[in-house]
Amino acid sequence: MTKTPEPDPKAAVRDYYERSAAREAERLDRPADGAVEWELHARALAEHLPPAPARILDNGGGPGPWTRWLAERGYQVTLTDLSPALLDIARERVARAPRRHAGNVEAVMEADACDLSAFPDGSFDALLCLGPFYHLTTDTDRDRAVREAHRVLRPGGLLIATVMPRYMRLVSTVLEHGSAAFTTGAADRILDEGRYDDPRPGRFTGGYLTRPDDVGPLFEDHGFRVRRLLASQGILAWAQPEVAALARRDPDAYQRLLDVAYRTAGDPSIHGMSGHLLVIAERPESQDLSPGSGPSPVQG
């Protein structure tokens, strides 16, 4: 009897982004969805990235919003992603950009976070990975991706990555599916395994959901020193529609609230209920922190 092959989780993830490319391309612009994340991530990048014209790899950069942001600031950027549809959107946007900005985009190409063999060792001053790690569902793939990030960064280079905690996805799953989230085992898989799969076409799937305490060791054990761990939406993850309304009603209060959200984003007490966590990690200049040497304290 021929055994049915297991589905390829990366194929399912690619299919999701192929189907949802147009929606994904606008996510960070939507006030009640991605706007707070955009504002806080932009502040973190401005604070931590090396000065332009450093070379940056935007791995898993999708339609290229951060590539555009970096190129406008004089960085030399290469954009990679698994989704041809998202890469097509990115290429169109680069083509429409002012020449002085488009010229800072060195390449837009398909690549897997687990295999960056297209790039030599020490190719980049910084690596953005704002998506791939919450789709790497096995220890093997996560280890490969961290090793590849370490390899393509120069000593002293910076990795800025996002991961996805479990609890917000658990609550949103129950709110959507009700009792079925428990009877089908979906809630248990999120809590016990950190796995989220949705077989419906065009729905987020192939998700790896982590615990905040596991984030530091994942990167530290492969030679990185974690500088900061931040809640991507800060204290505002569960109030984004209300925050969007505040932005329209009282722009000054909105900006002040964003200031508070960024200032407190390193507070560990909010990390477990964040939509995403932003990891800022350095490949040390020296060899005093080699892979497997253990973690160092994470700053808030």
Residue 198 included in any domain: no
147 is a domain residue? yes
Residue 298 lies in a domain: no
Q: Is the pLDDT of residue 5 over 60?
A: no
Q: Does pLDDT of 287 surpass 60? A: no
Inside any domain, residue 105: yes
Residue 104's CATH number? 3.40.50.150
Here the tokens at position 201 are 């076409």
Domain range for residue 43?
9-165+210-282
Q: What pLDDT shows up at residue 290?
A: 42
Number of domains in the chain: 1
What mean pLDDT is predicted for residues 51-60?
A: 98
Instruction: Give the pLDDT confidence score for residue 240 in this predicted structure.
Output: 93
Confidence of residue 60 (pLDDT cuts 50, 70, 90): very high
Residue 186 has pLDDT above 80, yes or no: yes
Q: Is residue 272 part of a domain?
A: yes
Q: Is 202 within the bounds of a domain?
A: no
∠ CA 269-189-224, rounded to 5°: 50
Assign 11 a pLDDT band (cuts: 50, 70, 90). confident
pTM for the model stands at: 0.91
* Amino acid 299: pLDDT: 53
How many Å apart are CA 162 and CA 277, to the nearest integer? 5
pLDDT at 166 over 90: yes
Looking at residue 293, its pLDDT comes to 42
> Is 194 a member of any domain?
no
For residue 294, the model assigns a pLDDT of 43
Q: How far is CA 25 from the centre of its chain?
A: 15
| pLDDT above 90 as % of the chain | 82
CA dist., res. 13 & res. 199, Å (int): 11
Question: Residue for token digits 């001053």?
Answer: 125
- The answer to the question of residue 4 being in a domain is no
| Average pLDDT of the residues in 173-202 | 94
pLDDT recorded at residue 296: 45
